[in-house]
Structure 1
């Protein structure tokens, strides 16, 4: 199967080579690697990669849904599988080969996540050298792909793959601005077919903090506004969205008393409250996060 890899990036030219390095050693080469950036400064020197794999650079307006849609619009039917990975996700050397095998074996699956060896989003982040070590020492997997989780509500956007014929004309919701919080779950909920997690596709999400949105208030607003908006679309179970929202509100307000040094819990809590106030007033909307006033200085969101 032809696997095209899509990497959307913004302001992280210094870390992109670590991800690209992992794509040059794949046991099944990518049909194409498409990088969608927002401006030339997002892109490092690609000279050493162009001879090793089919590489294409595109530019789109800033916003994860917009950048991913740009890639889908130019992909058309040029591949069988599209594999969206974050610019700080490092796949194992056989990831693309295992994706092809998994989609061939699990005919009912329209989309799938691999299995993360580690996810730095829940910590200060994982250094690329440590990620490479994890990939070298990963546990062996059997030859037969197994769906260890089935009927997922959504997929985790740092490593999600779809059959292109299942996607058809489905696109990411551009009403979810900037990092588009939960845009991955919303997209998966609108693609026809079952979403699964497989055991044979491995990778490390470094969770690099460089270049991420710096306003805890804005992310906190999205944590409430986006689920409210998505619940109105009717594709995602309301209970799933309610649990997600309450989990984040409680975590932000409780942990701000003793916050992690890489998360602006107080800012997120303020953003949560701003969205709840807008909801009470009947004017909550994902795009209103751009009106949220960030704190003058503070840690990452």
Structure 2
């Protein structure tokens, strides 16, 4: 695939230099290395002390917030690469991932964006440790067989492990009104690109999402986003209203039913308070996702 599509890997990160160090090491083990590994951060303190900037491993700095940091990366990349692959900083990819992303998009010119296979997701648990995640990925890689089958067309992609054709993105950018953790920004962005190609799920590339909890949005802010963001996106037209209402209802019920016996890693009371703050703003006709910065 030396003459195949070029692949840029983008990781937006804040305050987790240990994870950046791990990602750099994992990219060195890829069967095909990315054409550029780009970290979008806020300050040099977000990087490992021994970070070395080069033509293929770069770091850029800008305003805090997932959408802002991803947009800064897209602006930096311009039109110089064919595919952009977004990873969360706690995602452990298969060592075949970059190679298989290139193969998948080469074989599917009709696809604008794709989300890969998440072998195990720690987002709804206390999280998956580094050693355990690497063990799961290594076991997968021993039996890995490439398949470029499209499993399904989707409403949106999963932001921890998603790739887009740069020609489909063009001048489109992530919505910067979705601040900080930017809950549901991945669905919003994918829906904006649907007119330009299929948005799909595939097992062509895979990995483990650790779902680490340090550095994540506090419960109050996330609870507010759980109500406001889906309704804001529905009003924009980038989330079906039925999907938005189901998402809100699911989280309202989970936060209130589990509040008396919450998981140790979840601030259910904070989320419930945020839910009610969001509902109050909806009642007053205010769809203001950026308000989480003031909570």
Shift of 1:19: 2.0
What is the 5 A alignment of 1:197-276? 197-213=201-217, 215-276=218-279
Count residues in correspondence. Answer: 288
What is the 5 A alignment of 1:63-142? 63-138=65-140, 140-142=143-145
Shift of 1:165: 0.3
Shift of 1:228: 1.3
The TM-score, its normalising length taken from structure 2, stands at: 0.94
The TM-score, its normalising length taken from structure 1, stands at: 0.92
In the superposition, relative to structure 1, how do residues 10 and 33 fare at CA in structure 2: closer, same or farther (>3 Å)?
same
Describe the superposition over 1:135-162 as per-residue Cα deviations: whole angstroms up to 9, x where unpaired. Answer: 1101734333111222x01011111100
Q: 1:12 aligns with which of 10, 16, 22?
A: 16
Quick check: 1:141–1:199 contact (8 Å CA) kept in 2?
no
Describe the superposition over 1:71-120 as per-residue Cα deviations: whole angstroms up to 9, x where unpaired. Answer: 00111111110001011111110100000111112222110011011111
Secondary structure in structure 2 of the residue aligned to 1:209? coil
Q: 2:285 aligns with which of 282, 287, 297?
A: 282
The list of structure 1 runs, each at least 4 consecutive aligned residues, that deviate by more than 6 angstroms after superposition, is: none
Describe the superposition over 1:146-201 as per-residue Cα deviations: whole angstroms up to 9, x where unpaired. Answer: 11222x01011111100000111110000111111111110000012111111121
In the superposition, relative to structure 1, how do residues 206 and 188 fare at CA in structure 2: closer, same or farther (>3 Å)?
same
Distance 2:240 2:86 in 1: 24
Instruction: Look up the match of 1:54.
Output: 56
Quick check: 2:147–2:203 contact (8 Å CA) kept in 1?
no
Quick check: 1:13–1:43 contact (8 Å CA) kept in 2?
yes
Distance 2:146 2:257 in 1: 45
Quick check: 2:53–2:59 contact (8 Å CA) kept in 1?
no
Distance 1:270 1:102 in 2: 43
Instruction: Look up the match of 1:164.
Output: 166
Quick check: 1:256–1:266 contact (8 Å CA) kept in 2?
yes
* 1:35 and 2:39 are equivalent in the alignment: yes
Distance 1:143 1:183 in 2: 29
Distance 2:61 2:294 in 1: 26
Secondary structure in structure 1 of the residue aligned to 2:38? strand
Instruction: Look up the match of 1:26.
Output: 30
Shift of 1:211: 1.5
Describe the superposition over 1:38-95 as per-residue Cα deviations: whole angstroms up to 9, x where unpaired. Answer: 1111000345x667x8101100100100000000011111111000101111111010
Secondary structure in structure 2 of the residue aligned to 1:121? coil
Distance 1:34 1:55 in 2: 6
Secondary structure in structure 2 of the residue aligned to 1:129? helix
Shift of 1:287: 1.4
